[in-house]
Amino acid sequence: MPELPEVENTRRNLVRAGLPGSTITGANITWANTVKKPSAAELAEGLKGRTIQDIERQGKYLILPLSGSGPTNFIIHLGMTGRLQVQPQSQEPDPMTRHSFPLEDGPELRFVDGRKFGKLWLVDSPTEVLPTMSPEPFEDEFTVETLAESFSGRKAPVKALLLEQSTVCGLGNLYADESLFLAGLHPERPASDLSIDEVATLRQAIIDALSAAYGVYDRARDQLWPDPPTALTTWSHPRDIKAACPNCETSMTAIRVQARGTYFCSKCQV
């Protein structure tokens, strides 16, 4: 499931594919439920003739500012299985392609989404759509104090709070587990029980987990990086096989936190 590194990866790949500057000539929407605002028909009509100026990202949301008249922002959330591809119109589309947007210069933008959890909007301002989100984890504004503030007074499991975008935008199930593993924290610890030192350790672990997925984080160089999940230590756990903790070789424990599959080491994470 795409989390911050994968969404950023998608963003860069679209930039590399030349999407900025391309003009959308039409829209084939085959699953209207993914269109949240306005209606699917209005979105399809509203995108026609618009030029994509840039591709931005906030948390897990992709924002495509458009020139021309009409709502100025095409916003996309990939959900769990969403992918965006720029392919020649002559190329056979993936069978799970839900929407396609032909471009003026030949190729088309395709939205492939097996489980249909992705979402689209066409609105004047991202603020109409985007929920309250924390500062980007790589920005200076993502401080220990910010994180501690969002944990304050919260008895919910720390992992549950890590999944809230207002706590750490861009984090999802996999990187939440990974961050807690790197921090040596039990996922079910009540968030407000964490000491300030533990919060500081967790903040750094979040940055480290995401950084590992990026390879070397460097916006300016726009470089390729390895497939992010290979960077995860807690990731490769088939449902019924308990892998060993890479630190102490204890079998990893599988539980559910907030109805999410959760893996941790009962010895290293306390």
Partner DNA sequence: AGTACGTCCTGATCGC
Partner DNA sequence: TGCGATCAGGACGTAC
Judged by the rule CB under 7 A, the positions of this chain that interact with DNA are 1, 3, 33, 59-60, 77, 79-80, 96, 114-117, 131, 153-157, 160, 163, 165, 172-174, 239-240, 256, 258-261
Burial label, 32 (beta-carbon count in 10 A; 0-12, 13-18, 19+):
middle
- Helical pair 173-183 and 196-214, crossing angle rounded to 10 deg: 120
Closer CB to DNA, residue 71 or residue 157? Answer: 157
Nearest approach, Cβ of residue 159 and DNA (Å): 10
Closer CB to DNA, residue 17 or residue 80? Answer: 80
C-alpha angle 94/61/55, rounded to 5°?
Answer: 80
Give yes or no for a contact between 192 and 151, defined as CB atoms under 8 angstroms apart: yes
Going by C-beta distance under 8 Å and a sequence separation of 6 or more, which residues neighbour residue 263?
Answer: 177, 234, 237, 252, 253, 254
**Known catalytic membership, residue 126:** no
* Identity of the residue numbered 55: I
Nearest approach, Cβ of residue 60 and DNA (Å): 4
Give yes or no for a contact between 267 and 248, defined as CB atoms under 8 angstroms apart: yes
Closer CB to DNA, residue 216 or residue 259? Answer: 259
Give yes or no for a contact between 170 and 59, defined as CB atoms under 8 angstroms apart: yes
Q: Catalytic residue among 3, 6, 108, 164, which?
A: 3
**Known catalytic membership, residue 159:** no
- Helical pair 4-16 and 196-214, crossing angle rounded to 10 deg: 30
Q: Catalytic residue among 5, 8, 11, 60, which?
A: 60
The single residue listed with the structure tokens 């790197």 is 182
Closer CB to DNA, residue 22 or residue 134? Answer: 134
Q: Catalytic residue among 12, 37, 260, 267, which?
A: 260
Nearest approach, Cβ of residue 262 and DNA (Å): 8
**Known catalytic membership, residue 3:** yes
Burial label, 58 (beta-carbon count in 10 A; 0-12, 13-18, 19+):
middle
Nearest approach, Cβ of residue 190 and DNA (Å): 7
Give yes or no for a contact between 159 and 258, defined as CB atoms under 8 angstroms apart: yes
**Known catalytic membership, residue 102:** no
Closer CB to DNA, residue 75 or residue 103? Answer: 75
Nearest approach, Cβ of residue 227 and DNA (Å): 17
Task: Report the catalytic residues.
Answer: 2-3, 60, 260
